Structure 1
Amino acid sequence: MYPLKFTPIVKDKIWGGDRLQQKFGKHPGNLPNIGESWELSGVPGDFSVVSNGYLARKTLPEIIAAFKEQLVGKRVYNKSGNDFPLLFKLIDANDDLSIQVHPNDEVAAKRHNSLGKTEMWYVLDAEPDAYLIIGFKKNTTRKEYLEALGRGEVENLLQKVPVEAGDVFFIPAGLVHAIGKGVVIAEIQETSDITYRIFDFNRRDDKGKERELHTEQALDVINFKASKNPKTDYKVVPNEEIKLVSCEYFTTNLLELTKKKTFHYAYMETFVVYMCLEGKVEISGGTSTVQIHKGETVLIPASMKDFTLTPDGEARLLEVFID
């Protein structure tokens, strides 16, 4: 097998903009407002399609079915089968996203026959005064929450966190959150498209209707405790893997490369995904070589235990695998 690239799946959103096109090379087609680019997806109805090599035009589930643990690793395949367990996105918030929450695996399985949605964010770009909403300012009761929601004042209970490029946040299922206007992020999450919308600023869709809220469904999954120190602290060390997030669903490292780096992953039974955040990188292993540029994502099959990343000058990447 070889490093696999995929055709991005761009999504028109009421809050989307043009920065994924202008800064990350995404092609909108006829879509006016690109809010999301799904870089690697096993979500039914939105399967990623290989764009390079002899597997070009094959879908992600098709190649998992064909190569099984060679592609995703024995442990991952035994647990997930032909379902790819993670979803990788780029998100451009040209306007505020709805305040929302995601269910955990147990609730999502019962209600939607789906995985839950634990995720992480890496901030790629942020306008001055941009912020994220992450959790409650203080411990809150259901009664306080519902009363504030009824008054249209739920924002007052929630924590607004100023952000800048390079900030990292871990968003477990149950944590109320929203991406504010002027923020571009890379998002890594469980393979799920289940979102409970709590408040949408009384916004209307392109047909003039207010978007559906999920007040009752959300009540059972919200974590009402205060959210303390939501931002992940880390220090960059060039050419070293810096751990940003490690949870049961994925591990994410940051790589700031200024020189060639070779990886020996014989001890791991997992695929590895690289999201290129800045610069350009050549990935070589065996007889295969591919290049990824800013905004591109590549899947390294589990069977590729030794490979080398060579930056063109300097490059920044997220490295993701299942530990």
Structure 2
Amino acid sequence: MKHKLYPIKFRPILKEKIWGGEKLNNILNKDSNLTNIGESWEISDVEGDTSIVTNGHLKGQTLKDLLETYKAELLGEKNYQTFGNKFPLLIKFIDAKEDLSIQLHPNDELAAKRHNSFGKTEMWYVMQADKDANLIVGFNQEMTPEKYLKHLEDKTLTQILNFDKVKTGDTYFIEVGRVHAIGAGVLLAEIQQTSDITYRVYDWDRVDDEGNERELHNDLAIEAFNFEMEDNFRVDYKTDKNTSNEMVACPYFTTSFLQVTDSILKINTKDSFFIYICVEGEMMIETEHASEFIKQGESILIPAGIETYKITSTNAKLLEVYV
């Protein structure tokens, strides 16, 4: 029997990382005994890491189960025709206690050919940053494959990379083929295509407990680079209250900034599911049949079949995402 759909919450999938820290526990209240948690996968359909529902009568079912049962009612007609029983987005929180590796991601064509996967276009919203914390995005000068490879060989890669100091609210759009890394001291929300394909090009000569360096992917990476990219990765956006302020619109997702200080009625005209990521404060979301509460560090999925819902808060800052 098919139950009526409602706003759905999922159990976070926590990932220990060599560079992870304590902020996902301490700031975002992820209840875990793990140390060095680098990532919390909030909504995931990555093979082997499928999200599990934690609320309502669908509790215990996986995102994959929901897709197979509800199809377009969950995704929207257009999305279901495009993606079938595959959820197109992966939502994460990331805590970098140490610098992440310098890396990039392949486009759809390359990822499909090599890994039977989507590419990995993504965006970052900085939720908290320690003093002088930075992100690496792009190069600080015109770049060619030859010049890049020479710096890679000479271990002088950091001389040609662009470092940006960041603060809460800073937002970056990371297209495929763009070199990047999250710096130590940054806690952020990440919205990306459903893909776990990353090409590491430099890992700061780090070694694990056994003295092994992590694998690099320079042979794969060189073909994935786009050396022609403009420096258009910083996202400017409005912060008008109680309305959706568009931040990023690309073929893979549209994300808006929504600060709620009242009660607002949302009408879904997009033929898509919506995801709300709470980056500050807390809020109530109400539909005809259900209501759910989310607070900072939580995410919720509104199925495409829910046409109207109400968001109420005095202090919530949300990222609103649809495809």
Q: Which of 251, 259, 265 matches 1:256? A: 259
Q: Which of 7, 27, 32 matches 1:28? A: 32
CA distance in 1, matches of 2:56, 2:243: 30
Displaced runs of 4 or more, over 3 A: none
Q: Secondary structure at the match of 2:270?
A: coil
CA distance in 2, matches of 1:298, 1:254: 15
Q: Which of 190, 194, 212 matches 2:193? A: 190
- Which residue pairs with 2:299 in the alignment? 297
| 2:315 maps to 1:314 | yes
Aligned-residue offset at 1:229: 4.4
Aligned-residue offset at 1:227: 4.4
Aligned-residue offset at 1:230: 2.5
- Which residue pairs with 1:272 in the alignment? 274
Query: Residue by residue, what CA displacement relative to the aligned partner does 1:224-266 show, whole Å, maximum 9, x if unpaired?
Result: 236424311122111111101000000000001100000111x
Q: Secondary structure at the match of 2:123?
A: strand
Q: Secondary structure at the match of 2:81?
A: helix
- Which residue pairs with 1:285 in the alignment? 287
- Using structure 1 for the length normalisation, give the TM-score: 0.97
One-letter amino acid of the counterpart of residue 18, structure 1: E
| 2:116 maps to 1:113 | yes
Aligned-residue offset at 1:153: 0.8
Q: 1:86-125, aligned counterparts within 5 Å?
A: 86-125=89-128
Query: Residue by residue, what CA displacement relative to the aligned partner does 1:44-92 show, whole Å, maximum 9, x if unpaired?
Result: 0000000001100100011110011111111111111111000000000
Q: Secondary structure at the match of 1:152?
A: coil
Matched pairs, number:
319
- Using structure 2 for the length normalisation, give the TM-score: 0.97
CA distance in 2, matches of 1:181, 1:275: 23
Q: 1:119-268, aligned counterparts within 5 Å?
A: 119-225=122-228, 227-265=230-268, 267-268=269-270
Instruction: Please say if residues 134 and 227 of structure 1, whose CA atoms lie closer than 8 Å, have aligned partners that are also in contact.
Output: no
CA distance in 2, matches of 1:261, 1:206: 51
Q: Which moved more, 1:4-13 or 1:153-162?
A: 153-162
Instruction: Please say if residues 102 and 118 of structure 1, whose CA atoms lie closer than 8 Å, have aligned partners that are also in contact.
Output: yes
Aligned-residue offset at 1:183: 0.4
Instruction: Please say if residues 178 and 229 of structure 2, whose CA atoms lie closer than 8 Å, have aligned partners that are also in contact.
Output: no
- Which residue pairs with 2:14 in the alignment? 10
Q: Secondary structure at the match of 1:106?
A: helix
Aligned-residue offset at 1:201: 0.4
CA distance in 1, matches of 2:153, 2:82: 42
One-letter amino acid of the counterpart of residue 245, structure 1: V
CA distance in 1, matches of 2:253, 2:57: 28
Instruction: Please say if residues 102 and 174 of structure 1, whose CA atoms lie closer than 8 Å, have aligned partners that are also in contact.
Output: yes
Q: 1:38-117, aligned counterparts within 5 Å?
A: 38-117=41-120
CA distance in 2, matches of 1:226, 1:253: 24
One-letter amino acid of the counterpart of residue 299, structure 1: L
CA distance in 2, matches of 1:224, 1:131: 22
Q: Which moved more, 1:227-236 or 1:206-215?
A: 227-236
Aligned-residue offset at 1:28: 2.4
One-letter amino acid of the counterpart of residue 167, structure 1: D
CA distance in 2, matches of 1:308, 1:192: 32
> Structure 1: where are the runs of 5+ without partners?
none
> Structure 2: where are the runs of 5+ without partners?
none
Residues 1:97 and 1:48: Cα distance change in structure 2 (over 3 Å)? same
One-letter amino acid of the counterpart of residue 283, structure 1: I
Aligned-residue offset at 1:137: 1.3
Aligned-residue offset at 1:197: 0.1
CA distance in 1, matches of 2:173, 2:160: 20
Give the percent of matched residue pairs that are identical in Structure 1 and Structure 2.
48
